[in-house]
Structure 1
């Protein structure tokens, strides 16, 4: 109760018009320690944000690309879409994450679940990077991702071939992930900004079918803010997810912020019954993520933004989605 009331005061009263009976603890299943320039506010800021928001555990990863500040640009861009300069694959992002986590006291380290993300998904050598990192940091990495494949305008801006979740380079990583009991989080847009159909669905569905022993976390179910700017709500998302969750028991859904609206909540901020029914039907397959990028002040706002949806679920299911499902997905040895 106290944590909920404090969150309402700190972040947004509109998210919590009244203090509810439930007081959730969270696992943040999608958090980037650095931004697109490989910079971060640092662990003290992250821990403060987690403590204020009631986040007990967090997946923590880097960003697999770095944005270039081109010599023709007079001002440093603030985001990858800030100008037309390219981004490039950056494997050292994993070193940043490892260094930050390993400096923490043991009790704080237990709250973080590091995922390897410095992967060029069009390079068949990428699996060697994953193997090297697993050897350099034994019993440290607990997953792979967020791997960037189809990703809005970032796909066009990133140097090299178009990344796809169903190419041979990624197949090698999926095999390794199954062998090492590591879940894989993949960003794979379900469509483009203009096509009102699941244009790229095969790129994520083929790996699900071909690698049944690999646990896949589909980052925000193939949606993104950039797609929403052009298409608002895509009617095919819900039936597609329903079919895929039934067909592929190795599929898990990251409900990070771009899924909250327009999907989980309607225009008035009320939970949509069809989405509640989907989560109740597959109660162990959904998890929450803030998807913050190197800056952590909004962790609480993002996580508590789901409370109205959680409150409409049966309490046991709500607590699974808020905290437990992500932890259950981690390697068994943990």
Structure 2
């Protein structure tokens, strides 16, 4: 079994090494094919059920050349004393707590490795099964990388402040001021892992005078990790976290800071899209920001275990008013090229870290 494992790892490295040459990262032009690359896609849900990567490829078709691949790090507890025979499948279905489910990373890795090599090239797997309030979280990430070499290219989506979710987590919520988070981001930067980070940009139902509370803490964290590629999911918005009065100014504050050029935003989730396409004014304001910073935004769907192509592509269709306002270059960057640049770069860096840090029998020498 040991010899077979080493041989498998060697094949994975050889295949991914050949596929890793980036276009934008190496100075070549980005080939804009398909509608978008999906920078935010969950294979499993809050009870660790979902779809296979093969099914995701059926749903993506030729319209989505590549997508991230990750589960959800939290498991919703089924407490019989609270819901009886009703088995909750979502975090809003029960008052029972959520807990971290580290096995999700093994599920993602084994599902990915079950694909033919040509199909693996369309996915960029992410590590999510860690508690960002745990000083050992970085050790978990390292352990996953060394157990499944040649597979993962990033970490996330993981959450710090998240409406309705943070307060339900067993053991208490994560914090932007916790050194455990710095340890995670430091390690990600050392390896070259892309980070997808969920953090509400303001407190739900916040007052204007308190709008900077989370934002200032988040900006301080981001500033401490200039060598880590970080994608701030949903531009910090959510179901009840509506755009604060200074939302676009907050984004501009990060985008215009040369010390934060490693920070990106995704515009995933239909709950976010509804704010952007709410009216002509919101579309125009968002388009202006993206046209001025076209290399800093990515499109993701945030669908959980999608099986229906019509639903899967509905978010892309929601954004048609936005696409119409973007320059052709900005549209291509947001939909396709920024993803390709970031994740092609991660493939090279993470594989190099693995070759330098794993025994020869695992990396294939």
TM-score range relative to shorter protein: 0.7 to 0.9
Note the C-alpha offset of 1:332: 5.7
| 1:281-300 paired onto structure 2 within 5 Å | 281-297=292-308, 298-300=311-313
Aligned to 1:31, which of 38, 41, 48?
A: 41
Note the C-alpha offset of 1:23: 8.4
TM-score normalized by structure 2? Answer: 0.80
C-alpha distance in structure 2 between counterparts of 1:105 and 1:226, whole Å = 41
Contact 2:76/2:89, CA 8 A, preserved across alignment: no
Runs (4 or more) in structure 1 with deviation over 4 Å come to none
C-alpha distance in structure 1 between counterparts of 2:61 and 2:266, whole Å = 22
Assess, with a 3 A threshold, how the Cα gap between structure 1 residues 306 and 149 changes in structure 2: closer, same or farther: same
RMSD between aligned residues: 1.8
1:109 aligns with 2:120: yes
C-alpha distance in structure 2 between counterparts of 1:132 and 1:321, whole Å = 33
Note the C-alpha offset of 1:235: 2.0
Instruction: Report what 1:222 is aligned to.
Output: 236
Q: Could you say which structure has the larger radius of gyration? A: 2
| 1:174-323 paired onto structure 2 within 5 Å | 174-196=185-207, 197-228=211-242, 233-247=243-257, 248-257=260-269, 258-263=271-276, 265-267=277-279, 272-297=283-308, 298-323=311-336
1:40 aligns with 2:50: yes
Instruction: Report what 1:66 is aligned to.
Output: 75
Give deviations 1:178-198, integer Å, cap 9, x for gaps.
111111111111122221323
Note the C-alpha offset of 1:90: 1.0
The alignment partner of 1:211 has SS state of: coil
Contact 1:188/1:203, CA 8 A, preserved across alignment: no
Contact 2:33/2:65, CA 8 A, preserved across alignment: no
In terms of fraction of residues, the more helix-rich structure is: 2
Consecutive unaligned residues of structure 2, counting only runs of 5 or more, are 1-31, 350-365
1:118 aligns with 2:129: yes
